[in-house]
Structure 1
Amino acid sequence: MKRLSIGTKITLTVVGTSLIFALLVGTTTFVHLSRVSQAVQLAEEAARAAQVALRLTSAEKDYVASPSASLRERILQEAEKMDRALTLLRHHPFPGEASSQLLRLAQLRQRHRQAQEQLFQAPTRAQRLKAQEALEVLENQIQGTATFLAEEARKGVAGTANTARGVILLALLTTLLIGTLLALRVAVSISEPLLQLAQMANRIAQGDLRSSIEVRTEDEVGMLSATFNRMVAQLREADERLRESTVSKQMLSDLLRDLSQQISASELLMIETGRQFARRLSGTLAQHLDTFAEQGLGHLRLEGVDSQRSEILFVGEGLVENTRNSRYPTDHFTRGFLAEVVAKLAGAAANCEEIACVSRGDPFCRFVVYPAEGTTFPHLNALVLEATRWRPLEEAKT
């Protein structure tokens, strides 16, 4: 049963129940039909014996009036028919009172045979009449007894039919019980694994990937259970890989954060170094930038001043901090230098950002200097005036 499909199980249950019912009903019907047939035959034979008794009475009266060989032959033939009927009745015992009546019928037939011999041997009409009267009495008794047995046989037919109906009803109830038990067994074999699947699905929904279902059959439900187990195993492996990946990502994130902190510290150090270099210098903006170039740090020039936004733009080329193929600006020393120079000349703290960089593929490095948060440049006009007479970058190089 474990390897049968659900459809096959249901089909076998229905077919098996039908076969059991057919077997029980068929057996019961066969047995009781045989009994009914026997009872009907007994009733017919008993009725035939009664009819023969009537015909014998008539023939014997004719024989008394006019004895002849043909009448004697007729009487003997009818008597033979009665013997056959009585013989058949004796081979099928009747219950209760009918059994004693059957024995009495045999005794009556024995006396009837003797009376017939007396009839045939009587020399005178008076003797034949006396023998005929005795025969008539016996034949009336035989007829009554045979009629009684026929009625008993008919009652047996009715009783057998009632018994057959009861047995068929019992067979039907038994078949229904067996079919119900088989159906329950099949239903349990289907519903129990499905219930386990539902419970396991709930556990998986709650995050439990260590559960599995015991595969007990090889039908569709068993195949579904096996597939579900494989799915859970794959989910478990994927979860483990995800956990490992999460740990790796966390480690990488920590490493990048540490590296970023180190880079930020390095940038701040370079910016502060540029500021300290600018603090040691004096003079105009042009003198500061010339000193920067003379120290071999690169060439810088003032590109313009935005008075409304308080922003000062510088352009640089050949800066020593420039590298290739960098995603971020690299001139942190220059940023610190320009911020400190503008702070000294404009009269307020300043910050500097590199908005274009050769390291990123730009043609020039460009810097914007702006006042620190909450401050303004009080001497910005002096820088504006100097920007109007500033030498081009190419002249500064020469």
Structure 2
Amino acid sequence: MRYFLLFLLLFSLSYGFSEKERDTLLRIIQGLYADKVYNVTAKKCQEYLEKAPPDDPYREKVLKLMFHSYFNAGDKQGFIGALSLIEGEKISPETAKEVFSLGLKLTEKDPHFRAEIVRFYIPFTKGYEKKKMYILLANTLKEAGLWGDILKLPDIKEINLYKVVALYKLKRYKDLISFTEKMEQFLPEDKDSVLYYRGLAFFNLGNQEKAVALIESITFKTPKMVKFLSDYYLKNKNYIKAEKYLRILSLEKGYKDYAYYYLGVIEDLSKNYSKASLWYRKASVFDTKYGELARKRLSELKKAGVVKNAEFYSVRIILYTDKSKAEKLIKNKNLQGCFVRKYKKFYAVYCGKFASRNEAQKKRKNLIKAGFKDAVIDRISPEN
């Protein structure tokens, strides 16, 4: 009995925590939290966890209160630091999920910290939920640009495409080619993307023909893939194939200026200056590098006397008495392909340059849907 009492005494001293001290510290923690002194509350919670034995009945409640304190204080650093303090801590899956949910909210705009939250929670998950967490972790690491960490994740079909992207970003092209030998380790819907990166890897290793053949074989090509092919065929002067892909790109938002300009270049090289000028005019309305190049080339063609200024159709959406207000509208609404022209005593905002009224009609319908109910089509004479 004497040895047992001695053991209890040594046990309590090792944690330096009497029952009276524990109750006092609990009251302090509760009072600080109620008074919203969250940073101090968190520190007192840490003090409690350091002193309390592993089987303390209040341990898990204090732990939760610590994370709620860091959350309410908006202290991401403290929250992440506390995760390392509780490694090996025996907590319920419910508590782990509560900490995980708080962490996700706190680190919503910070993928580096969010990755740590997901890593913490994965050991508390099973089956389908665990797979979902690995997918979330892979996506979070991608956002953070932590490509090396992605490669450390387990081989799961749902995240193997992330590994392909990581290998490409790390310029490990030979490893990428080796990893993508067997397509059965990827989801069917990821096949096209895997082939694209496999093609890029061959391209970067100097095997351009293999790269193009792979990307050509992709069934549903993204605009990025189509642009890759159009670039390749332009550089290799295969203008028939280049035109094929440029026409596809001309239908894609964000690529129209590039497509219009190079369609003009192809006609220009064949000395079809009238057709070239039509494409250049379409490109010229964009405030981009290709729009600027198109305007410059149009000016050169006009000076050379090989093309004349031609009338075109455009959609007028609004009138202003002040030119700066018209220009401000285009900027604020991000109206791509729109410009300001004088209309009687006013300044009009026009959108698009079209060779026919039918082409302009499609644009008018889209602008009406966008809220410009008074949109009308005008035939415009070129500026001198």
The TM-score, its normalising length taken from structure 1, stands at 0.21
Larger radius of gyration: 1
TM-score by length of 2: 0.21
